[in-house]
Chain A
Amino acid sequence: MSVLDSKIPSGPLAHKWTHHKDHVNLVNPANKRLIDVIVVGTGLAGSSAAASLAEMGYNVKALCFQDSPRRAHSIAAQGGINAAKNYQNDGDSTFRLFYDTIKGGDYRSREANVYRLAEVSASIIDQCVAQGVPFARDYGGLLDNRSFGGVLVSRTFYAKGQTGQQLLLGAYSALSRQIAKGKVEMLNRHEMLDVVLVGGKARGIIARNLVTGEIERISAHAVVLASGGYGNVFFLSTNAMGSNVTAAWKAHKKGAFFANPCFTQIHPTCIPVSGDYQSKLTLMSESLRNDGRIWVPKKLEDVKAIRDGSKKPVQIAEEDRDYYLERRYPSFGNLVPRDVASRAAKERCDEGYGVNKTGEAVFLDFSSAIMRYGKTEARIRGIENPSTDQVRALGEEVVGNKYGNLFQMYEKITDDNPYKTPMKIYPAVHYTMGGIWVDYNLQTTVPGLFATGEANFSDHGANRLGASALMQGLADGYFVLPYTIGEYLASDIRTGKISTDLPEFEAAEKAVRDQLNKFINNKGTQPVDFFHKKLGRIMWDQCGMARSAEGLTKAIADIQALRKDFFANVRVSGKLDELNPELEKAMRVADFIDLGELMCKDALERNESCGGHFRTEYQTEEGEALRDDVNYAYVAAWEYTGSPADSILHKEDLKFEEVELKQRSYK
């Protein structure tokens, strides 16, 4: 019997959540005032949770490491947010969104959680519109939608290429309202460095004030981790520079199981790496695949000509282009899910068809869409026999309206104009499906410790569909956690304030201080990034788009050696009691190194390919991922016992009652 209890309510799938909500323990309003909750993180998941909990009457303390909650990484999300509204009348429904998500995740997520996500998705849009989030609208004043990969309906709501920004500012405004009321105490520029357990329950945290360097003890009746994903373990990713695993990892070390750490999403459309100095990669939103066609030349001589600049991409004749996604996957074409699109790009580049100097880029071309839209627009405007230039100009206008800011962003970085020449793109690390294990109530294996948003593992299985992370973050924060946390807190109404003088706080604070001092006093020679880049290289080469038992075994040994090197030779300048970004980085990289090892171990353990996890030993003849449902239809939840090498695997078997397990086909 597994030690993991997912607490999935009984009853038919479609009734589970309603039934659960109707029977969950409630805390009476007068008692909520006696209860404190800490929310670590103010991205979509954290801001929405903090605001909602405060509205309900709890006393909330929220933390973020940026100078303002509005700057959380969620701000950078571009393309959109899914919801089963069926406004386009194209056959969408709660079930269809549920089904697409389960299938997209390659059957490695929990049915009950995913169904609930689909169920509350529509309320998210209503809530955001009520807050004044300016979603895109059509000429009739109604909300507009676009399509994302892996689905055949149009259910993605958006605000140009700044959907995350608009949603986060909506949640930030709700949070600001509660801060003004004194119901949320906001601690900006604070980093959580440990969870404090009292009597086996999460009762507080240790945080460092990043301005003064002071170490603070903060107590509460429950702690919510909404600290985001860990893609930066690869050093280069589309995540913000500060995104990190520290909060989640510290919780893991204190007893929270870490689930499916190796499930990483490599996003197919990012601006390719241009040099070793590169500090991060920039995403070009998946929404571009609505109108952009992906191709490489069919002939190697054309590839060579493009690389040496003797030919321009527009000079390659139509019949000499290989629109390889359309060729391999006629029914989904350019809109196959991310893992499939990324692997297909790698396959072409590995065969020598990459179109930039490093050989790691493919084209994303808008010329067909520009001409198509141009023709329609000319007709709408009653222009008879428009010239090609006229059509192109009109088409560029339409495309500019849809993706203007993304095109601009691309041009600023690369100095190329994507209206005139195709974009060059390549896959990059983008999102982490794995995370802290949680039950149906979003509670971790530590009582009183909850995890929401990208920090948990719950809804996306082995691959996340586009526009579903924003949906999940807000679902967790607005509509799920505020209910489910009551189940736990109902027993705390008589507990009273938790004292920060308890020996448990004392011990946790001391451990944090010791680690910080160790870095400050280390007599090393290399900056933190030197080690972080090395880690990133190991992870990308061995635990990236293609993995093998041999490579992973080597990676584990390499990471263990890197850990020694790091602790012996890192140099952290500055002092403890001041703003010290190098010290912050050192603390984060220490945890990334541990996590990297666990990711490789998890990937090695999973002898199958599914979603973003592609083991070269397990593929079909056509090179598609080959799942093993008999042996691996489970969530791998790791228990920390002193070092990643000694972590113990617990399995939560996944039961599929509503959907039939099939090989994913997008052909």
Chain B
Amino acid sequence: MNLTLKVWRQNGANDKGRLESYQVKDISPDMSFLEMMDVLNDQIIVEGKDPVAFDHDCREGICGSCSMFINGEAHGPGRGITTCQLHMRTFNDGDTIYIEPWRAAAFPVIKDLVTDRSAFDRIIQAGGYVSVNTSGNTQDANALPIPKDDADKAFDAATCIGCGACVATCKNSSAMLFVSAKVSQLALLPQGDPERTTRALHMVEQMDKEGFGNCTNTGACEVECPKEISLENIARLNREYLRASVNPDK
């Protein structure tokens, strides 16, 4: 199929940026969206121009690198997928496709479709861990049985890939879904229990400091999240945060 692409081009954080138009031809429906972008880039390079920069690595929906806002949706049409898992069979011959970066104050554009998401790392650094050192002497892994249901819920929350689609989708650019996923995972497991209170407080504090917006429960994040992280986690984070604020010493 033949397509018209309107791609966001921006040379660094200080450039204003603009949409540029490109034509690509003979795109196979079996190609992934990023393979289509490869075709575009090879074409641009042969013309002697600057290819479109975009983040990607695993190309199988797990590393969280890829991050394109396609036709007004984070990771494009389709539910439960990342941009790299989007296939061209979703589109029709002759379509015009708009491709933009994540847009959020806390994710400044570095170049074209590449943004700086290091704010997420700093939120994890604020408390998204269990304080245990490496040693050969932690207790035996089976010494503490964990109800399957809790383990499964913790796992579901832990599948967040840190892509930032939730933020890009949210009209307030809130990072609540991301933060709640990590807080939930650790709150549901006995290993995370001792630091439950400080964790919730510190991570939320860092989130605010990074310039993410407030959550107004629109639920758009859950819809666009490629890992289908549930809004229940936000409810749990709110409970954890409340519990921590009421009883900060615990």
CA distance in complex: A176, B182 (Å): 13
Task: List the A residue with the shortest CB-CB distance to B132.
Answer: A130
**A143 touching B39 in the complex, CB below 8 Å, given contacts A76-B60, A282-B60:** no
Chain A residues whose C-beta falls within 8 Å of the C-beta of B48 in the assembled complex: 571, 573
Task: List the A residue with the shortest CB-CB distance to B160.
Answer: A169
A649 at the B interface (CB under 8 A): no
CA distance in complex: A143, B144 (Å): 10
Task: List the B residue with the shortest CB-CB distance to A65.
Answer: B57
Nearest-neighbour CB distance to chain B for A428, whole angstroms, equals 13
B53 at the A interface (CB under 8 A): yes
- Is there contact, CB below 8 Å, between B117 and A177? no
- Is there contact, CB below 8 Å, between B59 and A279? yes
CB-contact partner of A67 in B51, B65, B146, under 8 A? B65
**A73 touching B58 in the complex, CB below 8 Å, given contacts A188-B118, A527-B45:** yes
Nearest-neighbour CB distance to chain B for A603, whole angstroms, equals 28
Chain A 279-306 interface 0/1 with B at a Cβ cutoff of 8 Å (1 = within): 1101000000000000000000000000
B76 at the A interface (CB under 8 A): no
CA distance in complex: A66, B52 (Å): 17
A400 at the B interface (CB under 8 A): no
Nearest-neighbour CB distance to chain B for A401, whole angstroms, equals 10
Chain A 419-450 interface 0/1 with B at a Cβ cutoff of 8 Å (1 = within): 00000000000000000000000000000000
B55 at the A interface (CB under 8 A): yes
Chain A residues whose C-beta falls within 8 Å of the C-beta of B139 in the assembled complex: 126, 130
- Is there contact, CB below 8 Å, between B62 and A134? no
A71, A159, A162, A186: most-surrounded residue (chain B CB, <10 A): A71
A123 at the B interface (CB under 8 A): yes
Chain A 208-236 interface 0/1 with B at a Cβ cutoff of 8 Å (1 = within): 00010000000000000000000000000
CA distance in complex: A571, B51 (Å): 12
A388 at the B interface (CB under 8 A): no
**A134 touching B60 in the complex, CB below 8 Å, given contacts A139-B148, A180-B125:** no
Chain B 7-19 interface 0/1 with A at a Cβ cutoff of 8 Å (1 = within): 0000110000000
- Is there contact, CB below 8 Å, between B12 and A578? yes
A324 at the B interface (CB under 8 A): no
Chain B residues whose C-beta falls within 8 Å of the C-beta of A85 in the assembled complex: 141-142
Chain A 131-152 interface 0/1 with B at a Cβ cutoff of 8 Å (1 = within): 1101111111111000000000
**A126 touching B34 in the complex, CB below 8 Å, given contacts A409-B61, A571-B45:** no
- Is there contact, CB below 8 Å, between B46 and A478? no
A55 at the B interface (CB under 8 A): yes
Nearest-neighbour CB distance to chain B for A541, whole angstroms, equals 22
A35 at the B interface (CB under 8 A): no
CB-contact partner of B129 in A69, A176, A242, under 8 A? A176
**A277 touching B121 in the complex, CB below 8 Å, given contacts A142-B145, A160-B155, A527-B46:** no
A498 at the B interface (CB under 8 A): no
- Is there contact, CB below 8 Å, between A66 and B130? no
List CB contacts (< 8 Å) of A508-553 with chain B.
Answer: 525-527, 529-530
CA distance in complex: A166, B160 (Å): 10
B211 at the A interface (CB under 8 A): no
List CB contacts (< 8 Å) of B105-137 with chain A.
Answer: 110-111, 114, 116-118, 120-121, 124-126, 128-136
From B92-100, B165-173, B185-193, B230-238, give the one contacting chain A: B185-193
CA distance in complex: A41, B119 (Å): 20
**A275 touching B62 in the complex, CB below 8 Å, given contacts A52-B134, A130-B191, A177-B129:** no
CA distance in complex: A126, B151 (Å): 16
From B81-89, B217-225, B241-249, give the one contacting chain A: B81-89
- Is there contact, CB below 8 Å, between A173 and B138? no
Q: How large is the interface on B (under 10, 10 to 19, 20 to 34, 35 or more residues)?
A: 35 or more
Q: How large is the interface on A (under 10, 10 to 19, 20 to 34, 35 or more residues)?
A: 35 or more
CA distance in complex: A66, B62 (Å): 13
**A582 touching B136 in the complex, CB below 8 Å, given contacts A66-B57, A141-B146:** no
CB-contact partner of A279 in B38, B62, B189, under 8 A? B38
Nearest-neighbour CB distance to chain B for A191, whole angstroms, equals 13
Chain B residues whose C-beta falls within 8 Å of the C-beta of A142 in the assembled complex: 142, 145
Chain A residues whose C-beta falls within 8 Å of the C-beta of B65 in the assembled complex: 66-67, 71
Chain B residues whose C-beta falls within 8 Å of the C-beta of A282 in the assembled complex: 59-60
Chain B residues whose C-beta falls within 8 Å of the C-beta of A488 in the assembled complex: none
Nearest-neighbour CB distance to chain A for B111, whole angstroms, equals 5
Chain B residues whose C-beta falls within 8 Å of the C-beta of A173 in the assembled complex: 124, 128-130
B73 at the A interface (CB under 8 A): no
CA distance in complex: A574, B58 (Å): 24
Nearest-neighbour CB distance to chain A for B176, whole angstroms, equals 19
CA distance in complex: A176, B125 (Å): 5
CB-contact partner of B185 in A125, A134, A581, under 8 A? A134
List CB contacts (< 8 Å) of A30-79 with chain B.
Answer: 48, 51-52, 55, 66-71, 73, 75-76
- Is there contact, CB below 8 Å, between A174 and B141? no
- Is there contact, CB below 8 Å, between A527 and B134? no
Task: List the A residue with the shortest CB-CB distance to B123.
Answer: A176
- Is there contact, CB below 8 Å, between B60 and A409? yes
Chain B residues whose C-beta falls within 8 Å of the C-beta of A482 in the assembled complex: 134
- Is there contact, CB below 8 Å, between B62 and A76? yes
B6 at the A interface (CB under 8 A): no
Nearest-neighbour CB distance to chain A for B168, whole angstroms, equals 15
B71 at the A interface (CB under 8 A): no
A127 at the B interface (CB under 8 A): yes
List CB contacts (< 8 Å) of A104-140 with chain B.
Answer: 120, 123, 125-132, 134-140
B35 at the A interface (CB under 8 A): yes
Nearest-neighbour CB distance to chain A for B180, whole angstroms, equals 15
CB-contact partner of A120 in B63, B87, B89, B136, under 8 A? B136
- Is there contact, CB below 8 Å, between A579 and B134? no
A2 at the B interface (CB under 8 A): no
- Is there contact, CB below 8 Å, between A579 and B129? no
CA distance in complex: A566, B179 (Å): 46
Sampled A-B contacts (25; CB under 8 Å): A52-B134, A67-B65, A68-B121, A76-B58, A125-B141, A126-B140, A129-B141, A137-B148, A137-B151, A137-B152, A165-B159, A174-B132, A176-B121, A176-B124, A180-B126, A240-B63, A241-B58, A277-B35, A279-B59, A280-B59, A412-B61, A578-B12, A579-B110, A581-B51, A581-B53
7 tightest A-B contacts by CB? A141-B145, A173-B129, A134-B155, A180-B125, A129-B141, A52-B134, A130-B138
Q: A67-B118, A131-B191 are in contact. List 17 more A-B contacts (CB 8 A).
A: A66-B65, A73-B57, A75-B161, A130-B139, A134-B158, A138-B148, A164-B62, A165-B159, A211-B110, A279-B38, A280-B60, A412-B81, A529-B38, A571-B46, A578-B111, A579-B110, A582-B51
- Taking Cβ atoms with an 8 Å cutoff, the residues of A that contact B are 48, 51-52, 55, 66-71, 73, 75-76, 85, 87, 120, 123, 125-132, 134-143, 159-160, 162, 164-166, 169, 172-174, 176-177, 179-180, 186, 188, 211, 240-242, 274-275, 277-280, 282, 408-409, 412-413, 415, 478-479, 482, 525-527, 529-530, 571, 573-574, 578-579, 581-582
- Taking Cβ atoms with an 8 Å cutoff, the residues of B that contact A are 11-12, 28, 30-32, 34-35, 38-39, 41-42, 44-46, 48-51, 53, 55-65, 80-81, 85, 87, 89, 110-111, 114, 116-118, 120-121, 124-126, 128-136, 138-142, 144-148, 151-152, 154-155, 158-159, 161-162, 185-186, 189, 191-192
